Structure formats: structure tokens, C-alpha cells
Amino acid sequence: MSRHFAVFGHPVAHSLSPKIHAAFGKQTGIAIDYRAIDVEPGQLTHALADFIAQGGAGANVTLPLKQAAFSLCDDLTERARRAGAVNTLVRNGDTWHGDNTDGVGLVRDLTDRHALDLRARRTLMLGAGGAARGVAPALLDAGIGELYIVNRTPQRTDALADALAEPGRVHPRYLADLPALGEFDLIVNATSAGRDQPMFSLPRAVVGRRCAAVDLNYGEAAIPFMAWARASGCMAAVDGLGMLVEQAAESFARWHGVRPETDAVFAMLHGHAAALVTAD
């Protein structure tokens, strides 16, 4: 039986992952069968069972299924365990091995492609869901300074701060606290605002002199936050396209044993940026 790969999400028809993995396969000479599968929340277990029956060997998982995927894995990498969310599944015999490549993908994009020095940056994280969980540990490992997490739902903010287990460095806060939090050197939008709901208001007072703004979304979904960042005087504004390509390369390496080059694929997608819709 041939090996199949896929990305699961809801919605997922917009996903660039099939195009990215096709490009990686062409580059490395590996035949790729990779497709997008729409799965409503609560149906991931059944969808994966059908996928396995058809020869499924590995998968990416995107919003809103990353935490559900975590709970279905029998074995996890340390970075997936720290994140409490899985974006990469590897079939291991009769079980699923879970990994999270989002964080390493983001850090590689910011430091290598955009030449940002993350060390000691006072950081504001907007959001506390699967996307935030995927990147927060890697940002801390990359040497950022204090991390302030703000989310619409206080319980999720507190849960993520507790999971990161660095009480002197990680601070859960609430939307109402934003005007009083002072200036930041790095602002990361890990919410779905701009994709399926309006962007909430951000005070310009949070923007420090050397502030970089990063949206984990890309395409149309990133437009509101990126526009705010530029209008507010951020020194750099980076969307999530590079992170998407880098995390995909990590997943590809897990499945096929070779890490593809990413610059040409990023350039190809960036050249078609007007057609992009939202983030994996």
C-alpha cells in the first residue's frame, strides 16, 4: 500500500501545505501524495482512522485541531509535550507519534530569514490557544526576556502560563491590562483575529523603540495586524508565511529523512502573496 500524507483542519481548503510539500518532493526527488482533509472539531479520531485505512503514514494538523491531536498520541516529543499541542503526526506501528514543529519553524524564520535577534526581547503574546502553545516554548528557549500572555479567555491564559512553568519570566495578563503593561520589543499575534473575527484594539503604547511585530497568520488574515504594526511604528512586521514553510520542512524531514531547502519555496509563495488566505 502506498504511503499517504495530509493536513487536517477546519477549514482547510485554503491550506498551502499541499503545494509546499509538492515543491519539497520535487526538490528532493521524493514522490509525494499529500492532500488537505477538512475535519470538524470532535471528528479527528474518526478521520484519522479512515486515513490509516487508506495508507496514511503522517499528517500535519492545523487549527482548531492541534490540542485534540495531542490527546490522541501515544508518544510525544519533548517540544510537543511542552506545547500541549501537536502539528505533526508520524505513524509508528499501530500508534501515532506526535511532534510540534511550529516553534522551531518560527524561530528559524525570524532569526535566519529576517535576521532578528530575539535575545532579551520583552515579549507580548496575543492568544493562548494551540498556535500560542506551539511557539511559546521555542521563543523562551531562543532567549527572549519576559513573556506576557494576553487572551480573551483568562482561564486559557492562566493555563498556558502554568504549562510553561517559568513564573518569574512568564506573566498571564488580560486584555484590560494592555494599556498598563508598558513597551515591548516583540509582539506576537497568535490569535485567529483577522481570520474569523475582528481584530481587537491594541494601544500604540505597547510598541517599543526596537519593536518587531509577528503574525502567525499570513495572507488576508494577517492584513489587519500587519497594518496596525506598520502604522504604530514597529521596526519590523513579519507574517506567518516563512514560519509555515519552515515548520513544513521540519515535518517533511520527520517523514522522509531529509530536510529540504526552504528559500526557493518561500520565494515562490511570497510571489503569489495576493492569493494567500489564512494560516496553518
Query: Active-site residue numbers?
Result: 66
- As a whole number of angstroms, the distance between CA 19 and CA 110 comes to 22
Half-sphere exposure of 25 (CA within 13 A, CB side): 13
Q: Which three cell numbers stand for residue 75?
A: 508518544
Cβ atoms of 8 and 44 within 8 Å: the answer is: yes
84, HSE (Cβ side, Cα atoms, 13 Å): 14
CA–CA gap between residue 242 and residue 91 (Å, rounded): 26
Asked if 111 and 136 touch (Cβ cutoff 8 Å), the reply is no
What per-residue string of b and e applies to 5-26 under the rule 16 or more CB within 10 Å gives b?
bbbbbbbbebbbbbebbebbbe
Dihedral, CA of residue 144, residue 147, residue 153 and residue 154, to nearest 10:
150
SS (H, E, C) 6-64: EEEECCCCCCCHHHHHHHHHHHHCCCCCEEEEECCCCCHHHHHHHHHHCCEEEEEECCC
